[in-house]
Amino acid sequence: MNRNQSTSPAAPQRVNEAAGLARALGVLLNIAQTYQTSHAVFQRALDERLPVFEIALKGLRDMTLYFSGGQIRYGALPLEPGLRMFQDMAQRLEKAGIQGLTFLPAVTAGELKTFFELLTQNADGIAQHGLQVLLEREGVRNIRDCKTRLGVVSDAKDKPADATRKPAKSFVAPGAATWEIEMDEEAGETPAAEATDDPHTHAFHGYVHQALSSLTMDQAAVAGVANSISAKFKEILTEQVETVRQEGERKARRLNTIKDMVLRELEAHQLAALVCDSRLNVMAANRLGRDLIGAVDKLEKGSALEQFIASGLERQVIELDGAPRVAHMILSVEPVSNDNVLLISIE
């Protein structure tokens, strides 16, 4: 039976696959925003995450994720509520007028690349024509802009409840018949979540609670649920490491851009310039600066420049190549290591 047509209760694996697909979307969107989609970094990330789409969509007619209220939903079920990456992606897509995305099993790497290219480089076109029109113009057939469906939540609340049980919580998987999650909610059976403001902790608690609830429905063996929880923890940890790495790379690129811009601007004003640290290592220099100090990687002890740096003065006349030169110094203290970074310009 096609998984979309199943009326059996939802297994954690199915929700996990939807969350995995959403996570792959978020990582790729972040990378596409940092790099262009033609960059090798994006292409490598896309190649690494394409199997996530294949696994999530295997055996399905399609999979739809909805974006509302800063959450990503699979049917009516919020995926990892509180997870910052999901919140940012949902808000970004909502702001662009995208309420839902449907992915078909035949989706290709080329179609995904085009999709992210449109998202990050054609905001005006999306606002004017809508994402679906642009996808069709680009020949993308296996990704569709999907509006939120009314009545996505099951009408189980209108059905008479069993005398010994509360009504089941129900939701409809996109493009499928209703499938329900049922579990006992008698007083005292659901442990209170540990008080914390960490959204990642809330998201993980929610997943663990859902996974353990499957045991009460005999949907999974204890070992299977334990493996599922372990895999989820590894995914969240990997995601956070990736986010920190990308943020570090972004800051490094920004600092390098600023450094290069300052050095070029000083050279345009006929000023030799170099950047060095407190250990006198030369980190960068413009052309005039290199003409002055040569190809050295470190300033010599006792040199005129070393003595100027040691003086701590912002401005001083020093002698270089037998001629007096006016040197200026700007000192910056790195907040983490307390290391000094110095910009020296020489008239």
Residue-wise DSSP of 307-333: HHHHHT-SEEEEEETTEEEEEEEEEEE
In the chain, the DSSP E strands lie at 63-68, 71-74, 77-78, 100-103, 143-145, 169-172, 178-181, 272-277, 282-285, 315-320, 323-333, 340-346
Asked if 92 and 29 touch (Cβ cutoff 8 Å), the reply is yes
**Which range, 50-54, 221-225, 280-284, 333-337, is most confident?**
50-54
**CB neighbour list of residue 25: distance below 8 Å, 6 or more residues apart:** 65, 89, 101
**Would you state the pLDDT for residue 273?**
85
Q: Give 82-134 pLDDT, tens digit per residue.
A: 888 898 899 999 988 899 999 999 999 999 999 999 998 888 888 888 899 99
Residue (of 323, 321, 324, 343) closest to 332 by Cα position: 343
Q: Is the pLDDT of residue 302 over 80?
A: yes
Q: Is the pLDDT of residue 322 over 70?
A: yes
Q: Domain 269-346 class?
A: alpha beta
Residues 7-33, mean pLDDT to the nearest whole number: 79
**Which range, 5-9, 178-182, 195-199, 336-340, is most confident?**
336-340
Tell which wins on pLDDT, 159 or 81.
Answer: 81
- The mean predicted confidence, pLDDT, of the chain is 73
Q: Which helix (H) or strand (E) holds 249?
A: helix 222-268
Tell which wins on pLDDT, 180 or 155.
Answer: 155
Q: Is the pLDDT of residue 171 over 50?
A: no
**Would you state the pLDDT for residue 253?**
74
Residues of the chain with pLDDT > 90: what percent? 15
**Would you state the pLDDT for residue 106?**
92
Residues 147-172, mean pLDDT to the nearest whole number: 40
CA distance 203 to 195: 13
CA distance 139 to 114: 9
**Structure tokens belonging to residue 180:** 């329900």
Tell which wins on pLDDT, 6 or 61.
Answer: 61
Q: Give 195-249 pLDDT, tens digit per residue.
A: 444 555 555 566 666 655 555 444 445 666 667 777 777 777 777 777 777 777 7
Asked if 260 and 254 touch (Cβ cutoff 8 Å), the reply is no
**Would you state the pLDDT for residue 161?**
38
Q: Which helix (H) or strand (E) holds 16?
A: helix 12-34
How do the domains of the chain map onto residue ranges? 3-248, 269-346
**CB neighbour list of residue 315: distance below 8 Å, 6 or more residues apart:** 326, 327, 328, 329
pTM over 0.85: no
The DSSP call for residue 282 is: E
